[in-house]
Chains A and B, each alone.
Chain A
């Protein structure tokens, strides 16, 4: 029964989130807005490689393929951390409904997760369109012969990888929401800072081995590192050796971040109750 209630609350929260995200524009305009940003991010890194090739280093097709896939899937990280990073602020200060949701029987847990799932759906659309666009531009228009074949993707590896990766990212977003409950005016910094750290340390646009040796251990504890490794493995672009090992590390780091996020949430919740922060309104 408890699980059924949780799922029902999460579904309703997803629906609210979907409306908040999408009903300000017609579907075509909304879709355009959702896909232009990741496409531009991809074009930035892809053109760096292409411009680099024009200086005489030669086009590194395998590298470009890995970069395209990593950048496309990094959209999950950017969208989930950013959107969940300011969820509490908008519901508490702007719409002033956080306290009502908190005292409802469903509580905040399914609400936060349901809202996070909206970002997952949006990001999934962006990832698919970005990959199709990449094939069309780099292999179609520019005829660069990038070794990406969407029909030969190992779905048995990709699907669990995405499910685990997204779960870890929602746990991260859950933690950001908790921090936002007890903090003030950090909503715009938290999500983007974390996305920036993941972008630098997660092996998105260069291999982790290119990082200074002092920071490589940090990269090794981030789920995003194994998420992107396993995604590249499923596209046949892996460089780390064992796809199953990547998936195993992804599972462990996801469980780890999930436990840590729950602990942070509990601590934040107790503090917020004690200090009366659930209806605190902050302005700039």
Chain B
């Protein structure tokens, strides 16, 4: 008996089906409990509320409150990327699923793609809830003149963020408990650098070197662009450098994710750490 080699078309079909299946699991798993959705919308609004009140206490303009709400919504994406993308192989390893992914006749990139698509859809639902609740509760001003540009900038930001998530997922592949701690480490510092609660770039008070460092994170660039389009009412002319930067992030991060995944997978196989639990 001879094995028939799959054609390119068969391989693409299998990988797309794997991505769709992984996406479906994520969407279904992420939305099966209403309490989770409510908590993931209301919890960020509590923190957002604290910062909006701080701005009011300091006598700062209400537009900064709007900036915090956008920042809070984007934090939902960053949190999702850390805990449901970066650390995902770690969870899968703990549950004994990782070896099944390894023996499946599809690329691990298609599994990551499915996780990213599912995560992006789930988090978009939550981000929408955060923005609507935030606007309703805090009555802050928004002015969107170009919905198309706003949508484009948002989409590119999300893709570039999940591209970064795919890189992290690959690098985290062999992590044990350090996955938790690394995620904790990457929360507040990124909130600070990316300007989630206050603008960090184009602000004279922030040192230039810090601003440059901050722009290495896709969320910083995306957040600034989204705020310009949705709060200041600016258009394509104001954010085209941001769009180019986000496209560059995507073009770099996805291939890097693939290389990192191959490297870590081979390393894990060599050292026998792919199925190691309770590290």
Interface residues of A, Cβ cutoff 8 Å to B? 20, 24-25, 33, 36-38, 40-41, 43-45, 47-52, 54-55, 57, 60, 63, 94-95, 185-186, 188-189, 192-193, 196-197, 199-200, 204-207, 210-211, 283-284
Cross-chain contact of B43 among A54, A185, A196 (Cβ < 8 A): A196
CB distance from A77 to the nearest CB of B (A): 13
**A284 (CB) vs chain B CBs: closest residue:** B29
Q: Which of B39, B188, B189 contacts A193 (CB 8 A)?
A: B39
Report B45-60 residues with CB < 8 Å from chain A CB.
Answer: 46-47, 49-51, 53-60
> Which of B176, B188, B197, B204 has the most C-beta atoms of chain A within 10 angstroms of its own C-beta?
B188
Residue of A nearest to B190 (CB): A40
A51–B68 CA distance with the chains assembled, in angstroms: 14
* Listed residue (B51, B196, B278) with the most chain A CB atoms within 10 angstroms of its CB: B51
Check A40 against B50 for contact (C-beta < 8 Å): no
List the A side residues contacting B263 at CB < 8 Å. none
Cβ–Cβ contact A186 & B43, under 8 A:
no
- The answer to whether A199 touches B58, judged by C-beta atoms less than 8 angstroms apart, is no
| CA–CA, A41 and B30, complex, Å | 28
Contact with A along B27-53 (1 / 0, CB 8 A): 001000101100110110011011101
The answer, yes or no, to whether B279 is at the interface (CB within 8 Å) is yes
Known: A48-B51, A54-B205. A24 touches B177 (CB 8 A): yes
7 smallest A-B Cβ distances: which pairs?
A: A40-B188, A196-B46, A40-B189, A52-B58, A24-B177, A189-B39, A206-B57
B91 within 8 A of A: yes
Q: Is B276 an interface residue (CB 8 A)?
A: no
A37-B187, A52-B60 are contacts. A205–B49 as well, Cβ < 8 Å? no
CA–CA, A240 and B163, complex, Å: 49
- Name 24 interchain pairs, CB-CB below 8 A, sorted by A: A25-B178, A37-B187, A37-B189, A40-B189, A41-B188, A43-B192, A44-B198, A48-B54, A48-B55, A50-B205, A51-B199, A51-B203, A52-B60, A55-B60, A57-B59, A94-B94, A185-B33, A186-B35, A193-B39, A193-B42, A193-B43, A193-B46, A200-B49, A211-B53
Known A37-B184, A37-B185, A57-B58; contact A44-B43, beta-carbon cutoff 8 A: no
Chain A residues positioned under 8 Å from B33 (CB to CB): 185
- Residues of B within 8 Å of A43, CB to CB, are 192
Q: Does B142 contact A (CB under 8 A)?
A: no
Question: Is A40 a contact of B56 with CB atoms below 8 Å?
Answer: no
Bound complex: CA of A50 vs CA of B59, how far in Å?
13
Across the interface, name the chain B residue whose C-beta is closest to A52.
B58
The secondary structure that dominates the B interface is helix
A82 to B60, CA, bound (A): 32
Inter-chain contacts of A206 with B (CB < 8 A): 50, 53-54, 57
Tell me the complex Cα distance, A204–B187, Å: 20
Residues of A within 8 A of B248 (CB): none
Contacts of B39 in A (CB 8 A): 189, 193
- Chain B residues with Cβ below 8 Å from A49 are 58
The answer on a CB contact under 8 Å between A200 and B47 is yes
Q: From known contacts A47-B205, A94-B94, infer whether A200 and B46 are also in contact, taking CB-CB under 8 Å.
A: yes
- Contact, CB under 8 Å: A185 / B36: yes
Interface of A is mostly: helix
Chain B, range 181-219, C-beta contacts under 8 Å to A: 181-182, 184-185, 187-189, 191-192, 196-199, 203-206
Q: Are A210 and B57 in contact (CB under 8 A)?
A: yes
A54 nearest in chain B by CB position: B205
**B40 — nearest CB in chain A belongs to which residue?**
A189
Q: Which residues of B contact A63 (CB under 8 A)?
A: 58
Give Cα A284 to B32, complex, Å: 11
Given A40-B191, A47-B198, A206-B54, verify A33-B46 contact (CB < 8 Å): no
Q: CB distance B36 to A24 under 8 Å?
A: no
Tell me the smallest distance from the CB of A200 to a CB of chain B, in Å. 5
Chain A proximity of B178: nearest CB distance (Å): 5
Say yes or no for B100: interface residue by CB 8 A criterion: no
B191 nearest CB neighbor, chain A only? A44
- The answer, yes or no, to whether B3 is at the interface (CB within 8 Å) is no
* A49–B178 alpha-carbon span in the complex (Å): 34
Partner among A60, A188, A199, A207 whose Cβ is within 8 Å of the Cβ of B50: A199
Assess the B197–A199 pair: CB atoms within 8 A: no
Residues of B within 8 A of A189 (CB): 35-36, 39-40, 43
Pick from A36, A45, A47, A51: contact of B189, CB below 8 A: A36
Check if B95 is an interface residue, CB within 8 A of chain A.
yes
- Could you tell me the distance between the alpha carbons of A215 and B91 in the complex, rounded to whole angstroms? 39
Closest to B279 in A: A24
Contacts of A193 in B (CB 8 A): 39, 42-43, 46
A94-B278, A192-B43 given; A48·B58 CB < 8 A: yes
Residues of B within 8 A of A284 (CB): 29, 91, 95
The reply to whether B177 and A95 form a contact with Cβ atoms under 8 Å apart is: no
B181 & A199 in contact (Cβ 8 Å cutoff): no
